[in-house]
Amino acid sequence: MAFGEKLFKLRKERGFSQEILAEKLNTTRQAISKWENGQGYPETEKLLMIGNVFGVSVDYLLKDSVSPSNDKEAGYYVSKEMSEGYLLSTHKISKYMALGFFLVVLSFLPYFIFKQDPAIYMIPTLILATFGVGMFVTVSFLEENQYKVLKTEPLLFDEKYLEELSQRYENMKKSYGIINLVGMCLFVAGLLAFGIERKYIDSDFLVPYYPVCIGTIAVGIYIIMRTSILLEAYKLLAENKVYSNSFRFKFRRKIRKKVDDF
């Protein structure tokens, strides 16, 4: 069976029109028509994208075999557009996730300011905590299904783009590493103030500074969460071979396979 016949068969089995498939491959209906009529082959990038869309290997598409191969060990091809879309989505998610933790920690602040009067501190505490939880809920709506596959499959990239991505990741590790360290220092400093006062100081010398400590911890957590999530996203793409060999990746992929089989 020739490539054009296979493409036509796969498209019909999925119920895709030529226009729908063209949209998924970021090409034209005329190009799909030519390929199906044996008037040429798509470029390598499009072949990989076709394999992703229909869940078959490039070998099956190009060779004369009749049975499709679902072997995904070679990897899932990720276009530049998809990769940049995922990073943009992660930027939004990191902002809401970090803000959620920031508000939840900050919800303890009213207690240390108005602890003599529960009627006063309860309302702002509940408001801050509610908004914090609301940020976490927002994240669940921001996560797009099309990017979930990136965390469960080994990934393939265009070599030139991968080099560019790796360079960006290295630059981010340097700048974000420093920012992350600042966040860690703020977080630890805030916690130490509580620990030192409780263990080594009998008087209430540091009590007036507790609100400042809470604010320091909240800012530290915001910085740590924001930078860590972004760096993790870049690592997922730029160092995917290392990421896909990690225990967490293999465990997540195993769980997904069991869910799919079920």
Q: Is residue 68 part of a domain?
A: no
pLDDT value at residue 199: 57
Q: Which residues pair with 155 in a beta bridge?
A: 76
Residue 42 host element (H or E) = none
- Judge whether 169 and 238 are in contact, CB under 8 Å: yes
Tokens of 95: 């902002």
158-183 pLDDT, tens digit each: 788 889 999 999 999 999 999 999 99
Q: Which residue in the block uniquely carries the two structure tokens 């390929």?
A: 35
Distance CA 23, CA 34 (A): 16
DSSP letter, residue 155 = E
Q: Is residue 134 part of a domain?
A: yes
* Statement to judge: residues 111 and 214 lie in one domain: yes
8-19 pLDDT, tens digit each: 888 888 888 999
* Statement to judge: residues 52 and 179 lie in one domain: no
Average pLDDT over residues 147-154: 81
Q: Comparing 228 with 53, which gets the higher pLDDT?
A: 228
- The verdict on pTM exceeding 0.75 is no
Q: Is residue 103 part of a domain?
A: yes
pLDDT value at residue 72: 45
Among 15, 31, 62, residue at a domain's last position: 62
* Statement to judge: residues 179 and 231 lie in one domain: yes
Q: Is residue 153 part of a domain?
A: yes
Q: Is residue 71 part of a domain?
A: no
Gyration radius from the chain CA atoms: 26
Q: Is residue 22 part of a domain?
A: yes
Pairing of strands 76-77, 155-156: parallel
Tokens of 165: 């991505």
Q: Is residue 105 part of a domain?
A: yes
* Statement to judge: residues 105 and 234 lie in one domain: yes
* Statement to judge: residues 82 and 58 lie in one domain: no
* Statement to judge: residues 28 and 155 lie in one domain: no
Domain count, the chain: 2
Q: In the chain, what is the straight-line distance between the N-terminal and C-terminal CA atoms, in Å?
A: 32
pLDDT value at residue 159: 80
pLDDT value at residue 253: 66
Residue 76 host element (H or E) = strand 76-77
Give residues with Cβ within 8 angstroms of 21, minimum separation 6.
Answer: 11, 32, 53
* Statement to judge: residues 147 and 34 lie in one domain: no
* Statement to judge: residues 13 and 134 lie in one domain: no
* Statement to judge: residues 22 and 84 lie in one domain: no
Domain residue limits at 153: 76-261
Distance CA 6, CA 168 (A): 39
Distance CA 49, CA 80 (A): 12
* Statement to judge: residues 51 and 86 lie in one domain: no
* Statement to judge: residues 82 and 54 lie in one domain: no
